[in-house]
Structure 1
Amino acid sequence: MGSAFLLFAGGLNGLILPIRGEIEGFTAASLGLLGTGWALGYVMGCLFTPWLVKRVGHIRAFGAMCAIAAITVLASLLFLTPWVWIPLRGLCGFCFAGAAMVVESWLNDKADNKSRGRIFGIYTMVNLGATTAGQLVITLGDPSGYLFFVLAAMIYCTALLPTAMSATTTPTALVSVKLDLKRLWRNSPIAVFSVLMVGVSNAAFGSLSAVYAARIGLTLSDVALFASVPVLAGALAQVPVGALSDRLDRRVVLVGVALLGLCADLIFIFAGLEGVTLTLAVAAVFGASVYAMYPLIVAHANDHAAPGTSLQVSGGLLLVFGVGSIVGPTIAGFAMTGLGTSALFWVTGSAHVLLILFALLRIRTRAPVPQEDKTAFKAAPSTRAMTPETAVLAGEDEVPAATKE
C-alpha cells in the first residue's frame, strides 16, 4: 500500500512539473535539468539511504522521505521558477529512492525463496499500475492551477501511513552497493557502455516526452498517454525479449531491440506524423524497445558474473545507468532549446547508434556465453523505480554480509 501511494504520487508529480513548466514558459533546457536533478538525487538516495536507515530506522526514514517529498511538491507550487524547481526535484529524487529502498527491504525481509518470485511480480505490477494511474489522473483537471500539486503532496503523505501504523517488526539492514567501474568493465564492457547509453536515452525521453508531446500539439489527455503508453509497452515487451534472449546471444537480441528503437527515433524525426493514433503507436514501439533494454543488459552482465557477485553487478550497473540519466536530460533539453522539438529524438537516436556500434564490435571480439552458463532473464520494473534493493527482492543472489550496513 505504501509503495502504491508513493508511485502514484511520483507518477503525478513527474508529469505535472514539465506540463506546468511548459505552461509557464520554461525553456526545454530548464525542464531537462529537472530530469538531471531527479537522477542525481536518486543516485545519491541509493548510496546514502543505507546509512540513514542504520541511524534512525526504517519507519522514521520512510516517513521522513515521504514528508520531504510532499514538501518539495508544495514548494514547487509556491516558487514557479525552474531554478528553484531543479534542486527541489533533486531532493525529491533522493527521497523517492530512499522510500523505495525501505519498501523493498521490508518486502525482502518477509519473502522466502518460494514466495520471492510471486512477491516481486506483484510488487512490479503494483508499481507499474500506480505510476500509470498517477500520470493519467492529470487528465481530470486543469494543470495550470494548484490542484495536482496539492493532490500529489497529499498522496505522498498518505504513503507513510501504512508503515507508520504497522505493528510488524522492522526488517534487517539495507544493501549497500559501491560502484567499481574497473570490475564492471572487466566483467562485461558491453553491459557498462550499453547501460550508460540506455540511461541517456531513457532519461531524456522520460523527462521531456511531455514537453515534446505538448509542443507537437497533443491535447492534455494525449500528452498523458504519450508518457504512459511507452512504459506499458516496455513492460509487456520484456516477456518476448527475455524469452528470445534466453535462447540466443543476448548481444544480438540487444542490437535488434536497439535497431527497433532507432527506427522509432527516425520516424519521429523525419516522418512528420499526423494523427494521435499513429503518434501513440510509434511511441509504443519506442517504449517496447528502450524499456526492455535494461533487464536484457543486466541479464547479459550476470551471465559473465562470478558466483555470488550478481548483486554487486546489478547494483553497479544501476549506478552507471544513473550517471547516464544525469547526462541525458541535460543534453536533450539544451538540444531542444537550440535545435527544435525533434532534437529529443536526435539525442535518443545518437545513443542508440553508439550502443549498436559498440555491441557489434564486442560481438566480433568476444564469443557468446555458452547456453548452459546463461542465467535466467528476469523482468524488471521501470528503471525509474529501481534501487539496489530491487535486485535482492528479485532473488538475483544471496546477499553477502559485507553488503549489509
Structure 2
Amino acid sequence: MLRSFLPVSALLLGSFFLLFAGGINGLILPVRGANEGFSDISLGLLGTGWALGYVSGCVLTSGLVARVGHIRAFGAMAAIAAVSILGSAIVVNPWAWIILRGVCGFCFAGAAMIVESWLSEQSAPSARGRIFGVYTMVNLTASTAGQMMLTLGDPNGFLFFALGAIFYCLALVPTAISSTSTPAPLATVKLNLRSLWKNSPVAVFAVFWVGVSNAAFGTLAAVYAQKIGLVLAAIALFTSIPILAGAIMQIPVGLLSDKMDRRRVLVGVAALALIADIAFLVLAPQGRGMNLLLAALLGGSIYAMYPVIVAHANDHAEPGTAIQISGGLLLTYGLGSIVGPLIAGFAMEEVGNRALFMVTSASHGMVILYTLWRIGRREAVSDADKSSFQPINAGRTSNLQTAEHSNAGDVPQRRREPRSIREVLGKR
C-alpha cells in the first residue's frame, strides 16, 4: 500500500502546506478585520470576493495550464497567494482585503485543480479511491491545524500573515522538485443552466441556496463567535468543528440516501440544519459549550447536503454527462456563495450578529419547501438506477477536477459499476 502513495507524496505534502496556509488565511482576516472595526458588510464581502475568485479560477485555470504547464502554473498560484496574504498585512483596508481575498480564491481554485489532476494521473486506478480519501483527510487536517494556529499568538500582529505566506511558499517546493510526469489537461465545464434545470430542478434550486447558507456561515461564523465574546481558541473551534462534523456526517447520510429517495434525505438533513438555525436564534447561547454543540449540528448538516444534491442530479443524468452535471452544479453553488456572505453581512450590520442564522434558516427553509413540492410532482429514481454516492467537500476544496474524478466511473454500461455505498462496502 505504501508504494501507491510514494509517487504522490510530493503532491500530498504540497497540498498540506497549501491548506494549512489557507486555514490561517481564512480565519485571520475576519478576526483581525473585526478587531480593526471593519463593518459586517465588508467582512461578508470577503466571502463574496473569495467566491468570485474561486469560480473564476475554476473556469480560467485550464487555459493557463495549457499555456505554461502544470508546475509553473501551480508555482504561480502559490506565490500569488503568498503575496495576497502579505498584502493584507501591509494594507489594512477592507476594500483592499476584498480584492486580495478574491485573488487568493482564484489561486486556491487553480492550485487545487492542478493537484487533483496530478493525483489522478499518478495514481493507479486500483488505488485512486484510497489516494483521494487520504487527500481529503490531508486537506481537512491541514485546514483545521491552520485555523488552530491562531490560538498560539496575537492576531493583531504581523506573525500569522507571515506564517501564512511562508506555508504558501512551502507548498510550491515539493512539486517544483518532484520528478513526476506532467498530467493530462485539466477538465473544462461550461455552465448550462437550462440543461441543468431540465435534468433536475431540485438539484439546481437546492445547490444555489446551499451555496448561500454555507458561504454565509463559512465566512461570518468567526465574526459571530467573536461578537458574542468567545475567546480565540473557542472561535477557532467554532469554525473548525462544523467542517469536521460535515465530513463525518457524509458517511451515514450517503448510506441513507442509497436506501431511499435522496430528496427525502435532503429534506431531513436540511431540517436538521434548520433546527440548529432556530436554536441559535431562540436560545441565543452565550457559553462555549452550547455554541460548539450547535455549530457541530449545523456543520454536520450543511456540509452533508451538497454530495446528496450531486448524487440526486447524477441519478437523472444521461450516460456520459455526469461530469457536466456535477461541474455545472459546482458553478451554481459558487453563484450562491457569491450572494450569501453579502446578504448575511448586510443583515448582521442592520439587525445584529444573530441575523447570520436568519439568512441560513431562510435558505434551508427554501430548500425544504421546494424539495417537498417536487417530491409530489416527480417519482423517485429506483435503487437499480441510482448512481454511486460520492462524499464531496463543497466550496473551498471542490473544483471541476473533483467533479471529473468523482464521476470517473460514468460509462454507458452503468449497471456494471457499483450502484451504491452498500455494494461498494459489500465488495470489500
The TM-score by the shorter chain falls in which range? over 0.9
Deviations, residues 22-65 of structure 1 (Å, cap 9, x unaligned): 01000110000000000000000000000000000000000000
Counterpart for residue 188 of structure 2 = 176
Q: Is the partner of 2:92 in helix, strand or coil?
A: coil
Counterpart for residue 403 of structure 1 = none
Report the Cα offset of residue 116 of structure 1.
1.5
Q: Is the 8 A contact 2:319 2:411 kept in 1?
A: no
Report the Cα offset of residue 81 of structure 1.
0.6
Aligned counterpart for 2:87 among listed residues 50, 53, 75: 75
Structure 1 residues 396, 299: closer, same or farther in 2, change over 3 A? farther
For residues 110 and 261 of structure 2, the distance between their equivalents in structure 1, rounded to whole angstroms, comes to 35
For residues 308 and 252 of structure 1, the distance between their equivalents in structure 2, rounded to whole angstroms, comes to 26
Counterpart for residue 45 of structure 1 = 57
For residues 59 and 274 of structure 1, the distance between their equivalents in structure 2, rounded to whole angstroms, comes to 48
For residues 409 and 384 of structure 2, the distance between their equivalents in structure 1, rounded to whole angstroms, comes to 18
Q: Is the 8 A contact 1:6 1:159 kept in 2?
A: yes
Aligned counterpart for 1:365 among listed residues 377, 386, 406: 377
Q: Is the partner of 1:369 in helix, strand or coil?
A: coil
Q: Is the 8 A contact 2:280 2:357 kept in 1?
A: yes
Q: Is the 8 A contact 1:12 1:135 kept in 2?
A: yes
Report the Cα offset of residue 382 of structure 1.
4.4
Gaps of 5+ in 1: 401-405
For residues 382 and 316 of structure 1, the distance between their equivalents in structure 2, rounded to whole angstroms, comes to 13
Counterpart for residue 424 of structure 2 = none
Higher relative contact order (CA 8 A, sep 6+): 1
Report the Cα offset of residue 395 of structure 1.
4.3
Q: Are residues 1:148 and 2:180 paired?
A: no
Q: Over the residues paired in the alignment, what is the CA RMSD in angstroms?
A: 1.2
For residues 249 and 278 of structure 2, the distance between their equivalents in structure 1, rounded to whole angstroms, comes to 20
Counterpart for residue 139 of structure 2 = 127
For residues 252 and 115 of structure 1, the distance between their equivalents in structure 2, rounded to whole angstroms, comes to 33
Q: Is the partner of 1:160 in helix, strand or coil?
A: helix
Deviations, residues 142-164 of structure 1 (Å, cap 9, x unaligned): 00000000000000000000111
Counterpart for residue 200 of structure 2 = 188
Deviations, residues 366-404 of structure 1 (Å, cap 9, x unaligned): 00001100012111134311101012233444699xxxx
For residues 181 and 399 of structure 1, the distance between their equivalents in structure 2, rounded to whole angstroms, comes to 23
Q: Give TM-score scaled by structure 1 length.
A: 0.97
Structure 1 residues 2, 117: closer, same or farther in 2, change over 3 A? same
Counterpart for residue 312 of structure 2 = 300
Q: Is the 8 A contact 1:179 1:316 kept in 2?
A: yes
Q: Are residues 1:21 and 2:33 paired?
A: yes
Counterpart for residue 110 of structure 1 = 122
Q: Are residues 1:7 and 2:19 paired?
A: yes
Q: Is the 8 A contact 2:23 2:143 kept in 1?
A: yes
Structure 1 residues 191, 396: closer, same or farther in 2, change over 3 A? farther
- Aligned letter for 2:232? L
Aligned counterpart for 2:299 among listed residues 262, 287, 291: 287
Q: Give TM-score scaled by structure 2 length.
A: 0.92
- Aligned letter for 2:355? A
Q: Is the 8 A contact 2:285 2:291 kept in 1?
A: yes
- Aligned letter for 2:210? V
Q: Is the 8 A contact 2:112 2:399 kept in 1?
A: yes
Q: Is the 8 A contact 1:127 1:381 kept in 2?
A: no
For residues 197 and 112 of structure 1, the distance between their equivalents in structure 2, rounded to whole angstroms, comes to 37
For residues 183 and 14 of structure 1, the distance between their equivalents in structure 2, rounded to whole angstroms, comes to 34
- Aligned letter for 2:274? L
For residues 146 and 408 of structure 2, the distance between their equivalents in structure 1, rounded to whole angstroms, comes to 29
Deviations, residues 72-127 of structure 1 (Å, cap 9, x unaligned): 00000011010110111101100010000000010011123311211111111111
Structure 1 residues 399, 4: closer, same or farther in 2, change over 3 A? farther
Q: Is the 8 A contact 1:11 1:132 kept in 2?
A: yes
Q: Is the partner of 2:318 in helix, strand or coil?
A: coil
Q: Are residues 1:330 and 2:348 paired?
A: no
For residues 409 and 102 of structure 2, the distance between their equivalents in structure 1, rounded to whole angstroms, comes to 31
Q: Are residues 1:90 and 2:102 paired?
A: yes
- Aligned letter for 2:306? Y
Aligned counterpart for 1:318 among listed residues 314, 330, 335: 330
Report the Cα offset of residue 175 of structure 1.
0.4
Aligned counterpart for 2:211 among listed residues 199, 208, 216: 199
For residues 397 and 327 of structure 1, the distance between their equivalents in structure 2, rounded to whole angstroms, comes to 33
For residues 3 and 318 of structure 1, the distance between their equivalents in structure 2, rounded to whole angstroms, comes to 21
- Aligned letter for 1:115? A
Gaps of 5+ in 2: 1-12, 413-428
